[in-house]
């Protein structure tokens, strides 16, 4: 077992961490990798932003359905 993840594995874990908690070993290895890899930190920021935007979609008010024109 290596201490550091590859960028590919780090990206997989970042995505997984949005859906479920990581175990302590993966969490630690990911944090170590992120501390040294700026590219993966950027991926983390982007995934978090996408996740936040997705969570907000359900709270948007698109108005009354009656405002939508129907096709004859």
Q: What predicted TM-score, i.e. pTM, was given to this entire model?
A: 0.70
Mean pLDDT computed over every residue of the chain:
85
pLDDT at 33 over 90: yes
Mean pLDDT (whole number) for 1-23 = 87
pLDDT at 34 over 90: yes
DSSP, collapsed to helix, strand or coil, labels residue 54 as: helix
Q: Are 7 and 39 in contact (CB under 8 A)?
A: yes
Packing angle, helices 24-36 and 7-19, rounded to 10? 130
Spatial CB neighbours of 39, under 8 Å, sequence gap ≥ 6: 7
């Amino acid at each position: 077992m290596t201490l550091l993840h590859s960028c590919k594995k780090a990206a997989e874990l970042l995505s997984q961490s949005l859906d479920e908690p990581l175990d302590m070993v993966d969490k630690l290895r990911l944090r170590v990798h992120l501390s040294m890899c700026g590219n993966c930190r950027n991926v983390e920021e982007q995934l978090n932003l996408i996740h936040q935007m997705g969570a907000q979609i359900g709270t948007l008010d698109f108005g009354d359905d009656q405002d939508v024109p129907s096709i004859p």
